[in-house]
Amino acid sequence: MNPAIIGGGYAGMAAAVALAERGISVTVFESARQLGGRARGIVLQDTQLDNGQHLLLGCYRQTLRLIEQVGGNLEQDFLRLPLQLDLHGEFSLKAPRLPAPLHLLVALLGAQGLPFGARLNAIRFMLALSRTNFRLTHDMTVAELLAQHGQNAGLTQKLWEPLCIAALNTPICKASARVLLNVLRDALTQSRADSDMLLPRVDFTTLFPQRAARYIEQRGGKVLVTCGAESLRPLESGMEITTEQGAEKFSHIICAAPPAVAAKLLRPIAALESLVAQIETLQHQPIYTVYLQYPAHVRLPHPMLGLHQRYSQWLFDKGQIAGQHGLLAAVISAEGIHQELSQEHLAQKVIAELREEFGIAELPEWFRIIAEKRATFTCAPGLHRPSQQTPLPGLLLAGDYTAGDYPATLEGAVLSGLRCAELVQFHHQ
């Protein structure tokens, strides 16, 4: 068996590690110069950054397990914070050291910035969800679910909306309640550590894909960068990939490229017409990250905090997280009015917000905006996501957009890759 993987993002590298672990020699084709895809390290102004600030949750079990498997050390690689939400001066909630889900209920009860009635209402909502094990008989938007459970405007704007946008990167009026509940169930109901927030101290290429490449190569596999797949062809047994270097035959192909590329590669294959149509129905949401380098003494009150009704939704102090003093990142997730501004204008808005909220009077030495226009798929209710299995036995699909419980996240991507690795092995038996 000689499977190939197209795409060295988190999904593709997870599949490759799982196969390499079982002694199967894999070949990874990655079109870019470096691995990581939508979670990759970049260098700007001699500073190591990512294409966007990411965070992991404690319940991302498979991603965390794989990072350790390929040589990472979770203690060193992450700043781990217990569940907390701080919308500067407007709302704050911090989970105490109690078992789940008591930690959440006590955190909601003691939250600052909402009247007692609203906090009780949020607790009632959580208890109602836990009675159905966070499952819905039919999907609906998050806004509809919140209205059904009497969550008022204050609660929605300060608690549920920021949570939904952070988790699903989709506005509440478009977001799937079922998928949000999947994340809440996994993060909040089993162990307190599941709701921890893990902020990486190393860049996202180093964190997993780079280490994974070494792990794969040590087990006889190959990881080829700047070597994109140009076309695919089903064979009587297996599949053929054409790259710049020519055509090569493989027993299986796991296509872990982003949805638009997967659709393009699969379109010429007649048997995949309806699968391609399914992939093409997916819509996308952006994530903007504004990096600002201030003098080294500038710091925020916490490593991560939110702002209420501002352009900057979440702010990260890279000094406190990764020792990059004075470097701040403002994250703006999902579609919104910020997309109408020029990059210069948006950066000026963020600088003004930092001045008004925290009294940061200095100007940054430099700023850069990274606008990922197709950061994630729009996680809408009842979305029919393509399965990892395709009508061709030698072709599998991995990626955060393929079928699964999770929205477009690292864990969703990794789970899809692991599923493909299992299917490759299963076909072979």
Contacts with ligand FAD, residue ranges (CB under 6 A): 6-12, 29-32, 37-39, 51-52, 54-55, 228-229, 256-258, 261, 287, 289, 372, 375-376, 399-400, 408-410, 413
Tokens 């909601």 label which residue? 108
Cβ closer to ligand FAD: 63 or 121? 63
Least spacing, CB of residue 12 vs ligand FAD, in Å: 6
248 DSSP β-pair partners: 241
Cβ closer to ligand FAD: 101 or 228? 228
Cβ closer to ligand FAD: 40 or 88? 40
Structure token pair of residue 280: 């093409």
Contact 379, 179 (CB under 8 A): yes
Cβ closer to ligand FAD: 54 or 385? 54
Cβ closer to ligand FAD: 109 or 260? 260
Residue of 292, 262, 290, 293 lying closest to 276 (CA atoms): 262
Contact 185, 177 (CB under 8 A): no
End-to-end CA distance of the chain: 11
- Cα gap 333→339, rounded to integer Å: 11
Cβ closer to ligand FAD: 92 or 409? 409
Cβ closer to ligand FAD: 38 or 192? 38
Structure token pair of residue 337: 């009015």
Least spacing, CB of residue 117 vs ligand FAD, in Å: 32
Contact 84, 92 (CB under 8 A): yes
Least spacing, CB of residue 152 vs ligand FAD, in Å: 28
Residue of 9, 16, 4, 69 lying closest to 35 (CA atoms): 9
Least spacing, CB of residue 260 vs ligand FAD, in Å: 9
Least spacing, CB of residue 116 vs ligand FAD, in Å: 32
Least spacing, CB of residue 414 vs ligand FAD, in Å: 8
Least spacing, CB of residue 132 vs ligand FAD, in Å: 25
Q: What does the DSSP assignment read for 328-345? A: EEEEEESSSGGGGS-HHH
Cβ closer to ligand FAD: 307 or 334? 334
Residues 6 or more apart whose Cβ sits within 8 Å of residue 212: 13, 14, 16, 17, 35, 66, 70
- Cα gap 249→332, rounded to integer Å: 43
Please give the sequence-ordered ranges of beta strands (E in DSSP) within 217-261, or none if there are none: 222-224, 231-234, 239-243, 246-250, 253-255
- Cα gap 14→421, rounded to integer Å: 9
Least spacing, CB of residue 154 vs ligand FAD, in Å: 26
Work out the number of other CB atoms within 10 angstroms of the CB of residue 215: 21
3-state secondary structure 358-409: HCCCCCCCEEEEEEEEEEEECCCCCCCCCCCECCCCCEEECCCCCCCCCCCC
Least spacing, CB of residue 223 vs ligand FAD, in Å: 11
Structure token pair of residue 22: 């079982």
Cβ closer to ligand FAD: 52 or 113? 52
- Cα gap 312→332, rounded to integer Å: 6
Cβ closer to ligand FAD: 30 or 317? 30
Least spacing, CB of residue 91 vs ligand FAD, in Å: 20
